[in-house]
Structure 1
Amino acid sequence: MKKYKVVGLMSGTSLDGLDLAYCHLWQTNEHWEFSIEFTKEVQYGEKMRDYLKNAIYLTENDHAQLHKDYGVWLGEQVKYFIEENNLEVNFISSHGHTSHHRPEDGFTFQLGDGQLLADTCNKQVVCDFRTEDVSLGGQGAPLVPIGDRLLFHQYDFCLNLGGISNISFEKEGHRIAYDIGLANMPLNFITEKMGLAYDEGGKLARSGNLDTVLLQKLNQLEYYKLPYPKSTGYEFFTEQVVPLIEASNISDVDLLHTFIHHNCEQIAKDVHEHKSGSNQTILVAGGGALNIFFIDTLKEKLGPDIKVIVPPKKLVAFKEALVFALMGALRLEEKINVLSTVTGAKRDSSSGTVYHPA
C-alpha cells in the first residue's frame, strides 16, 4: 500500500493566514484514507496581508513580482515547518493565493511561483490547480469536492465556510458543488473596521439585531439566482456587497448579526432544495465552523431534519489544506482531481503543474 507524505498549503479569501498540513494519504478500494499528522497556521503580517488583499489592483509588473516574492515566502514557511517537526516529505501541494478569478473571461490566477517555492524548500511542488479547468470552459472552482467525494463520502453534504461559502453533494451519481455565496468575507471586513481580527465565537454578532432592509437587499443579489455551476470571489464582494455595507447606517454589531442571518438563509435554501430525504447530515468545516453564533443560526434555519456536524478543530481548520494534498497525489498519479460536474468544464481533468527543485 503506497502512502504519500505531503505538506498541503492553503491560503483562502479570508486572508487570515497560511495553513500548512502534513498529511499521510493512502488508498483503500475507491476511497482514500488520511491522517493529519502536524499542522501550523502562519498569520500574515500587515504588509503581506495588504499586498495580497490589494493584488487585484497591482500593475502587471508589481503583480509578477508579488507572485515571485510570495512563492519564495511559501517555500520558506514550508522549510521551517519541515525542520521544526523533522518531517519526511514526498512533495508539497500548494493552492497558492487567488488574486484574480474571472472564469467568465477565461482567467484565474493563483499567486505563489511554483518553481521558486520548490527551489526554496528543495522539494517537488504541485500547484496551480485552477488554470486548466478554466481553459476547458470551467469555473476553476470549487476544487475541494473531489476531496469531499473521496475522503468524506459518508456525509450527505459538505459545507465549507471560508471567505466564501461552498457546498458539495452527490446527485444522480455525480458530484455537484458550487459557491453558495458569502461566509466570513463580510464578517472580517466589518471586524477589521472595528479594529479586531475577527469576532471570536460570534459573540458580537449574537449581541446585534437583525436589519430586515439590508437582509432583503442582500437576499436579492443577482448571484443567488444564477444556476450552478457557479463560483464567486473578492470581486463580487467589493463590487456588490461593500456598497450595501457602506450605504447602511446600522451599527457594526447589527451588520455582523444581519450578515450571519443572510449567509445562513442562503445556505439553508440550497440545502433544502437538494436534500434527498429526512435525517440528512452536513459536515461543516472552514473558519466559520468555529463561529458558534453562525452554527447556531445555521441549525435554526436548516431545521431538525438536517444534522449539522462540526468535526474536531484540526479538521475544521485544515480540511482544505488536506484536500489540496490529496489533489497533488491524484495529479502525480494522473488521476482525475477536478470534476466537470462541479466546474462546468468540457471534461474532467487531472490538473496542476509539477515543479522540481533546480
Structure 2
Amino acid sequence: MTVIKEYRVIGLMSGTSLDGLDIAYCNFKLENGRWSYQILETDSINYNPDFKAQLKKAIYLQSHAMIALHNTFGSWMGTQVADFIKKHELVVDFIASHGHTVLHQPDIGITYQIGSGQHLANSSGQKVICDFRTNDVYYGGQGAPLVPIGDELLFSEYDYCLNLGGISNISLKQNKVRIAYDIAPVNMLLNHICNSVNLDYDDEGKLGRSGQLNTALLQHLNSLDYYSQSIPKSLGYEWFASQILPVLDRHPDTTENLLHTSVHHIAQQLAKAIHSHKLSNATILATGGGAKNIYFIEVLRQKLGDQFTIVCPEEELIDHKESLIFAFMGVLKERNEINCLSAVTGARKDSSSGVIFNPA
C-alpha cells in the first residue's frame, strides 16, 4: 500500500554573507519511505544599509541591545513572510527559520541565532520552528553544518554537496556515514573586499579575474591554523574577524588583486579538502552565491582536475537550497525525527532539534 504524507512549509535563511533574507515555499512528500521536494515560490529580501550594518555589528552589542535586535529581527521576518503568503495566496503548515547567526563558539558551548521565534510567529500569524543549532551544541556538537540531513535524504545522488555561501561547507558519505564540515570563508571574504569600495559583490568574478596573485597574502591565508585542524569543525564570523581581517590589513593591495588572491585561496582550500577524501570520478553539487561567481568556479575546476564534475544547478536551487533544507529540518522536527547528525557535528548523539512557537 502506498502511503503519502505531504507538508507545505516556508523556509527562511539569513546567511553570514549578509546578502538578505531568502524565503522558499516548499512542498515535501514522503512516499514509501522516500522524500521528494518541490520549491514552489521564492523571494530574496535585501537588507537596507542600516539593517545590514546592524547585523554585521551585532556581535559587539551588549546583552540588552542584542535581545532588542533579536526581537526586532523576528518581527521583521514575520512581516516579510506575511506579505509573501498574501502575495502568492499560500496555504502554509508552518515556517522553519534558521535565523541569523551572530555568535558561534561551539568549543565553549555558545551558538546564537537572532530572529525571535515568538515574534516571528506573532507577526506572521503562523506556527514557527526555529533554533536548530542550540540543542546539538548542548550535546557537545559544533551545531554546524546542519544541511547534511537534507543532502542525505534529498540529494543523495551527488557524491559531494558543496555550499558556497558566506562560509563554505562540504557534505559527503564516507564509510556509509554522512560527514560534513566548514572549509573556508567564501562570500564573507569576497564581499568584505567588495564592500570596502562600495560594491555589494564581484559580479561573476569579473574584478577577481582581472587581478594578479599576491603571493605573500596567499601564503599567509593558507597558513591559518583552522585549515590543519581535524574534523568535526565549523566557522563563524568571530573567526573571520579575528583571523582573516588582520591578514588582509597586513597585505594591502588593489581590490582586484585582493579578490584574485582570495579566490585562489578559497579554491585551494576546497580542492585540498575534496581531494583528501579520495573519491574519484565524483560529482559535486555546488550551490550558494559563490556558485554564481564564474571565475571562482573556473579556478576551482582547475584545482580539482578532470576526475571531478562540478554541477551548478538552476538558479533557484543555487539561491534557495539552504532555505529549502531548513524547511525540511522543520518537517523532521515536526515528526520528531532526527535532523542533526552527530557524525557531522561531533555531538554525543543524533537529535531532533528545533523549538516550536505558536502565534499568540
Contact 1:22 1:38 in 2 (8 A): yes
Q: CA deviation at 1:225?
A: 0.6
| Residue aligned with 1:96, SS | strand
Name the counterpart of 2:18: 15
Name the counterpart of 2:300: 298
| Residue aligned with 1:109, SS | strand
Choose from 20, 31, 34 the match for 1:31.
34
| Residue aligned with 2:53, SS | helix
Residue 242 of structure 1 pairs with residue 249 of structure 2: no
How far apart are the structure 2 equivalents of 1:99 and 1:346?
24
| Residue aligned with 1:132, SS | helix
TM-score, normalising length from structure 2? 0.98
| Residue aligned with 1:191, SS | helix
Name the counterpart of 1:345: 347
Q: Which amino acid aligns with 1:317?
A: D
Q: CA deviation at 1:29?
A: 4.0
Deviations 1:218-258 (A, max 9, x none): 11100001100000011111101101111112211000000
Q: Which amino acid aligns with 1:311?
A: P
Choose from 25, 37, 42 the match for 2:45.
42
How far apart are the structure 2 equivalents of 1:332 and 1:103?
25
Give the gaps of 5 or more residues in structure 2. none
Contact 1:30 1:150 in 2 (8 A): no
How far apart are the structure 1 equivalents of 2:159 and 2:32?
20
Q: CA deviation at 1:279?
A: 1.2
Contact 2:149 2:339 in 1 (8 A): yes
Choose from 195, 198, 212 the match for 2:198.
195
Q: Which amino acid aligns with 1:13?
A: T
Contact 1:108 1:131 in 2 (8 A): yes
How far apart are the structure 1 equivalents of 2:18 and 2:181?
21
Deviations 1:300-320 (A, max 9, x none): 000000000000000000000
| Residue aligned with 2:276, SS | helix
Choose from 212, 216, 225 the match for 2:215.
212
Q: Which amino acid aligns with 2:135?
A: E
The 5 A counterparts of 1:132-211 are: 132-211=135-214
How far apart are the structure 1 equivalents of 2:302 and 2:253?
24
How far apart are the structure 2 equivalents of 1:191 and 1:269?
26
How far apart are the structure 1 equivalents of 2:123 and 2:276?
47
Name the counterpart of 2:326: 324
How far apart are the structure 2 equivalents of 1:252 and 1:296?
20
Contact 2:5 2:31 in 1 (8 A): no
Name the counterpart of 2:275: 272
Choose from 120, 125, 132 the match for 1:122.
125
Residue 82 of structure 1 pairs with residue 81 of structure 2: no
Q: CA deviation at 1:204?
A: 0.3
Q: CA deviation at 1:51?
A: 0.9
| Alpha-carbon distance change, 191 to 181 in structure 1, aligned in 2, over 3 angstroms | same
How far apart are the structure 2 equivalents of 1:133 and 1:310?
30
Name the counterpart of 1:336: 338
Indicate the RMSD between aligned Cα atoms, in angstroms.
0.7
Name the counterpart of 1:108: 111
Q: Which amino acid aligns with 1:178?
A: Y
| Alpha-carbon distance change, 285 to 262 in structure 1, aligned in 2, over 3 angstroms | same
Choose from 247, 256, 259 the match for 2:259.
256
Q: Which amino acid aligns with 1:119?
A: N
Q: Which amino acid aligns with 1:126?
A: I
Q: Following superposition, which runs of at least 4 residues in structure 1 exceed 3 angstroms of deviation?
A: 28-31
How far apart are the structure 1 equivalents of 2:37 and 2:175?
27
How far apart are the structure 2 equivalents of 1:279 and 1:176?
19
Name the counterpart of 2:286: 284
| Residue aligned with 1:311, SS | coil
Q: Which amino acid aligns with 1:143?
A: L
Choose from 70, 78, 84 the match for 1:67.
70
Choose from 99, 110, 135 the match for 1:96.
99
How far apart are the structure 2 equivalents of 1:327 and 1:121?
20
Q: CA deviation at 1:275?
A: 3.1
How far apart are the structure 1 equivalents of 2:139 and 2:129?
20
| Residue aligned with 2:7, SS | strand
Q: CA deviation at 1:30?
A: 4.2
More deviation in 326-335 or 208-217?
208-217
| Residue aligned with 2:359, SS | coil
Q: Which amino acid aligns with 1:194?
A: V
Residue 54 of structure 1 pairs with residue 57 of structure 2: yes
TM-score, normalising length from structure 1? 0.99
Deviations 1:244-280 (A, max 9, x none): 111112211000000000000000011111133x211
Q: CA deviation at 1:28?
A: 3.2
